[in-house]
A and B are shown apart, each in its own frame.
Chain A
Amino acid sequence: MSAESDTEPGDVATPSGDAASENGPPIPDPESVDDEGYVIGSGRSGIVRRIDHDDFDPVGTLVLIAIYMVIVGAMWIFMYFVEFLGGDLTVIG
């Protein structure tokens, strides 16, 4: 995937001097990054693509948390209203 496809032109990390000085570590040439894997410990270290705060879109995490909350809510309702309130000999005084 091209780095330019999802970001504003200004956001694309380039090995230019300006970007490097603003963003800390030196940025490798995007051309040198390939998808064929690499030896463990020799991974890419530079910023390849910069995205805005809200462009990060972990929709899978959102769905997992939604499922988790539905389970917790359903278990609470079952435990309290069915198992506890529906139980025998509830203390009333």
Chain B
Amino acid sequence: MEIHRYEKIWLAGALLLIVGFIATVSYGAVGAGIAMVDDEGGQVDPASLDDHPRFGEPGTYQSGENEYDVYVVARQFLFEPGTSEPIRVPAHSTVTFHVTSPDVIHGFEVVGTNANTMAIPGQVATITVEFGEPTEYGLLCHEYCGSAHHAMEGKIEVVPQSEWNESMVVN
């Protein structure tokens, strides 16, 4: 088969684009340390979340120096904590969110950021993020979960280190 020289040029260009796309995603995973949400959070019984040592009393737990675990139950149609009282984390800390649902599939999206995951009944989704300066983030359900899905929202407060105190953690 005879291939025109221009076709060779744009075939090579298209291949270069594909290689470039794969290379940048590889760089993101290896160089920049971007992680995917996987199943490392394990499974829980969605019918007895109240008996779970952490999801039974969801909130912020300190797990190390400047490291925190936040357990969140997403249910129709609120985040617990998040909706009635904001999730509070200290500024400049590393926080791992553990999110699950007792009823239907929900979403957990920190609005305007790259942090989001599904909340699946029986499955714990874990995402680790680093918070910076004190600020406030919105929290949204981004998986349709029922008639009041559109009203399912909450708040994350990144509290200055100076205002952080023991009452803001569960443990």
Which chain A residues numbered 36 to 93 have a C-beta less than 8 Å away from chain B?
53-54, 56, 58, 61-62, 65-66, 69, 72-73, 76-77, 80-81, 84-85, 87-93
Q: Which residues of the partner chain A approach B20 to less than 8 Å between Cβ atoms?
A: 73, 76
Question: Is A88 a contact partner of B128 (Cβ separation < 8 A)?
Answer: no
Q: Which residues of the partner chain A approach B6 to less than 8 Å between Cβ atoms?
A: 58, 61-62
The CA-CA distance from A32 to B17 in the complex, in Å, is 49
The CA-CA distance from A81 to B34 in the complex, in Å, is 12
B32 to chain A, nearest CB (A): 6
Is there a chain A Cβ closer than 8 Å to B113's Cβ?
yes
User: From A86, which residue of chain B is reached at the shortest CB distance?
Assistant: B114
Is there a chain A Cβ closer than 8 Å to B130's Cβ?
yes
Question: Is A92 a contact partner of B129 (Cβ separation < 8 A)?
Answer: yes
Which chain B residues numbered 11 to 49 have a C-beta less than 8 Å away from chain A?
13-14, 17, 20-21, 24-25, 28, 32-37
Question: Is B34 a contact partner of A72 (Cβ separation < 8 A)?
Answer: no
Q: Which residues of the partner chain A approach B37 to less than 8 Å between Cβ atoms?
A: 91
Q: Which residues of the partner chain A approach B110 to less than 8 Å between Cβ atoms?
A: 89
Q: How many A-B residue contacts, CB cutoff 8 Å? A: 74
Question: Is B21 a contact partner of A92 (Cβ separation < 8 A)?
Answer: no
Given pairs A53-B2, A88-B114, 10 additional interface contacts (CB within 8 A):
A54-B5, A69-B14, A72-B17, A80-B28, A84-B28, A85-B28, A89-B110, A89-B137, A90-B115, A93-B35
Binding site for A on B (CB under 8 A): 2, 4-6, 9-10, 13-14, 17, 20-21, 24-25, 28, 32-37, 96, 110, 112-115, 126-132, 137
26 inter-chain pairs at a CB distance below 8 angstroms, sorted by A residue, are A53-B4, A62-B10, A69-B10, A76-B20, A76-B21, A80-B24, A80-B28, A81-B24, A85-B28, A85-B34, A87-B113, A88-B112, A88-B113, A89-B110, A89-B130, A90-B34, A90-B115, A91-B37, A91-B114, A91-B115, A91-B128, A91-B129, A92-B33, A92-B129, A93-B126, A93-B127
